[in-house]
Structure 1
Amino acid sequence: MNLSYWELKEWFSNIDFTIVGSGIVGLNCALQLKKMHPKATIIILEKGMLPQGASTKNAGFACFGSLSEILDDLQSHTEEEVFQLVKKRWEGLQLLRATLGDKNIDFQPNKGFELFKEKEIFEECLQQKEAINQLLHPIFKDDVFTISENQFSFQKVVPKYIVNNFEGQIDTGKMAAKLLQKVQQKDIKIINSIAVESFVEKETTIHIKTNKLDFYTKKLFIATNGFANQFINENVQPARAQVLITKPIKNLHIKGTFHLDKGYFYFRNIDDRILFGGGRNLDFTTEQTSEFGQTSIIQNELEKMLQEIILPTIPFEIEHRWSGIMGLGSRNLSGQKKAIVKQVSNHVFCGVRLGGMGVAIGSLVGKELAELTKK
């Protein structure tokens, strides 16, 4: 790059902390680092024009797990591990709300609703409902899960929902914009459209090579979630999530966040539209990718479910489609749902593998990532 003396001096000299990734984790890491080290020079490197991955591409669910998802987690995790997963997600949501304010992220406590296409699975969940309520009672001090009638007139599903009384929704765009603004107000520099290609750790510094230039930093934080395996050797794999949204629907009566098929499908209302995503379970192999895009097998199923289950009597048109990249652990391995927040080497740290729960735990993971410098 044809950088001037001034540019090199102001943006790429005497760097204390460099964060790779300007998503929820990276931005919260920067805020906590600045709080701990007020005089530190901090830069955030972002390969995209806007935050890549999932931070600005998610569905905006302020959730911590549907009943069937929690029961599914108990197949590969202990009760204590599941309890801690939910506790961390809930604490992370409260930290997000406290950091940015409910109004700034358009937080709405409209509850979450789990729908079931198969009566047998519904009955299984119903049998375990009270046990899970008891397990989670120390966190919420009340029953998380209750039962409701099919108040939104969905078709081809069991005529009762399991309601998550503590679930809500946010405006993902507002959340990301407010977080970026808060970081920049702290004199933390965010550099977009720059991709880290490699780094070499030396005795007291790290030599970072990007597609634009090379520079040095004292500490490096990897906060790229689904793209992390480019930099570190940890159990985190990319997983694509495909999403579509309808054009505005007059007098839309659906309100809340909704889960189907153990959380593999999910939808919500937003701006008189239905946002609908998921379907990764239809083709796990293809969707284990860091490439953005859509596939016909998933998009066709999303449209079919919209027409047959969600909006069976209401005409709709699809206005837009997109995808995001999550960071997951290998399926069915013990502990694979827990985020990885650790010191990788002397001067390198990572906060990755958010497991599709970035809105819930991203703020907390970012804070914990920064706090690793205390050790």
Structure 2
Amino acid sequence: MDVSYWELKNWFANVDYTVVGSGIVGLHAALHLRERFPESKILILEKGALPEGASTKNAGFACFGSLSEIIEDLRNYSEEEVVQLIQKRWNGLNLLRKRLSDAAIDFKPYGGYEVFLKEDESTYAECLQKLPFINEILRPLFKSDVFAKEVDRFDFKGIHEYLIFNPFEGQIDTGNMMQALLKEAVTNNILILNRQTVTDYHDSGSGVQVNTTDFSFTSKKLLFATNGFADKLTQGEVRPARAQVLITEPIPNLDIKGTFHIDGGYYYFRNIDNRILLGGGRNLDFEGEATSEFGLTEKIQNRLEQLLSEVILPNTEYKIAHRWSGIMGLGSHKKPIIEQLSENVCCGVRLGGMGVAIGSLVGQELADLV
């Protein structure tokens, strides 16, 4: 690359910390590094024009797990591990709100609901039966009951009588959140370069040579915050998982407010700007959606539209305004990977589809590794 003396001096000389990825984790890591090392030179490299992955693509759920998801987690992890995971998500949400303010992220405490389709009889019955037990194990953390039965007041169709309501869940404006984080980074003299893909790196012990598609430079420390794109970095411990989403045109007199989970969280919807945003469906094709390529499939989009017309808005006319996809980072365990890869290289990845909840905390813990 034809780099000038001025570019070398201002961007690539004497770099203390290089963060790869300008999503929720990367920006929080950089901001926490600035708090710890006020005089340091911090550079963020982002491969997309905007933060790629899920940070600007997610549905904006300020949640920590639906009742059926928590019950399912208890089949795979100990009670202590599940409670610790929920506590991390709750602490992360509070950290995000504290750093940026509820006004900046447009936080709305409408609560969250779990909706059970008529055909999902077994999950519905199990959730009603285990609801008191889950409230009991979460009471030390939340100081009150988290889940309660509520009769459907939204005029959904093809569902069981009761919804499960969670008053601690809320929603945010994802775009506002990311813009607020980017402004914080710029205000704190953190350099961000977009359209830069890290192709390789070498930790010499005294520093890290970072190679991108356009140039090479040396950084004292290198931090990866690439989540769904971290499969090679972690030798397969992180798998990409695509999530497909659609949103309607504005709907007059829309009375649906809140965040909603269906089918163990594999489908989710919410209100935003008098529209319905609906996403999910990767359970229809786990193998096909285990990809880091953005895109839409007819099978999943048809199912989303079916849920919209038959369950969510059965008596309402609507038009689809837009569709998109995002890339999450999943793995064999729901606990994030925050670890050293070598003496001067570390990573904070595998957010398990809970980036809004735990991204800020993972970023802070990643910064604390150096």
Q: TM-score, normalised by structure 2?
A: 0.98
In the other structure, the counterpart of 2:171 is 169
Find the aligned partners of 1:75 and 1:242 in 2 and give their Cα distance.
27
Aligned residue type for 1:35: E
Q: Displacement, 1:3?
A: 1.8
* C-alpha distance in structure 2 between counterparts of 1:366 and 1:297, whole Å: 35
CA contact (8 A) 1:198 1:231 kept: no
Contact kept in structure 2, 1:247 and 1:317, CA below 8 Å: yes
Equivalence for 1:100: 100
User: In structure 1, what is the equivalent of residue 340 of structure 2?
Assistant: 343
Q: Does 1:213 align with 2:210?
A: no
**Runs ≥4 in structure 1, deviation > 6 angstroms?**
none
CA–CA distance in structure 2, aligned partners of residues 180 and 95 of structure 1: 16
Q: Is 1:355 paired with 2:357?
A: no
Secondary structure of the equivalent of 1:181? helix
Identical amino acids, percent of aligned pairs: 58
CA drift of 1:4 comes to: 1.0
TM-score, normalised with respect to structure 1: 0.97
Question: How much has 1:249 moved relative to structure 2?
Answer: 0.5
Aligned partner of 2:246 in structure 1 is 244
Residue 71 of structure 2 corresponds to residue 71 of structure 1? yes
Distance in 2, matches of 1:272 and 1:207, equals 49
Given the alignment of the two structures, is residue 285 of structure 1 paired with residue 287 of structure 2, yes or no? yes
SS in 2 for 1:134: helix
Tell me by how many angstroms 1:120 deviates: 2.7
Equivalent residues in 2 for 1:49-64 (5 A)?
49-64=49-64
* Residue aligning to 1:120: 122
Write the distance in 2 (CA, Å) between the matches of 1:354 and 1:203. Answer: 29
1:187 maps onto 2:184 in alignment = no
Measure, in 1, the Cα distance between the counterparts of 2:89 and 2:76. Answer: 18
Q: What is aligned with 2:255?
A: 253
Q: Which residue of 2 aligns with 1:47?
A: 47
Unaligned runs of 5+ in 1: 331-335
User: How far does the alpha carbon of each residue in 1:211-230 deviate from its partner, in whole angstroms, 9 at most, with x for none?
Assistant: 11011111000100000123
Quick one: which amino acid aligns to residue 22 of structure 1? S
Which residue type is aligned with residue 235 of structure 1? E
Aligned to 1:333: none
Name the CA distance, whole Å, in 1 between partners of 2:167 and 2:132: 14
Find the counterpart in structure 1 of residue 145 from structure 2: 143
- How far does the alpha carbon of each residue in 1:326-360 deviate from its partner, in whole angstroms, 9 at most, with x for none? 00013xxxxx0000111111011100000000000
Q: How far does the alpha carbon of each residue in 1:232-280 deviate from its partner, in whole angstroms, 9 at most, with x for none?
A: 3251110000000000101101000000000000000000000000001
**More deviation in 117-126 or 186-195?**
117-126
Alignment check: 8 A CA contact 1:221 1:349 kept: yes
Amino acid paired to 1:113: Y
Hey, what's the Cα distance between the residues in 2 that align with 1:94 and 1:253? 28
> Which moves more between the two structures, 202-211 or 57-66?
202-211
Unaligned runs of 5+ in 2: none
Structure 2 counterpart of 1:59, which letter? Answer: A
Residues in 2 aligned to 1:198 and 1:129: alpha-carbon distance in whole angstroms: 49
Determine if contact 1:256/1:269 at 8 Å carries over to the other structure.
Answer: yes
Report the count of equivalent residues.
368
Partner residue in 1 for 2:365: 368
Letter of the structure 2 residue corresponding to residue 64 of structure 1: F
Find the counterpart in structure 2 of residue 317 from structure 1: 319
| Map of 1:152 onto structure 2 | 154
What is residue 18 of structure 2 aligned with on the other side?
A: 18
Give the CA deviation at 1:140.
0.4
Q: CA deviation at 1:138?
A: 1.1
Question: Which secondary structure does the structure 2 equivalent of 1:229 belong to?
Answer: coil
**Other-structure match for 2:307:** 305
Q: Which amino acid aligns with 1:342?
A: E
Residue 109 of structure 1 corresponds to which residue in structure 2? 109
Q: Distance in 1 between matches of 2:200 and 2:215?
A: 11
Q: Which amino acid aligns with 1:288?
A: A
2:245 counterpart letter in structure 1? V
| Letter aligned with residue 353 of structure 1 | R
Alpha-carbon offset, residue 160 of structure 1: 1.0
Distance in 2 separating the partners of 1:300 and 1:195: 34
Measure how far apart 1:196 and its partner are. 0.5
Structure 2 CA distance, aligned partners of 1:231 and 1:134?
Answer: 39
Shift in CA distance, 312/324, structure 1 to aligned 2, threshold 3 Å: same
- Structure 1: how far apart are the matches of 2:304 and 2:267? 8
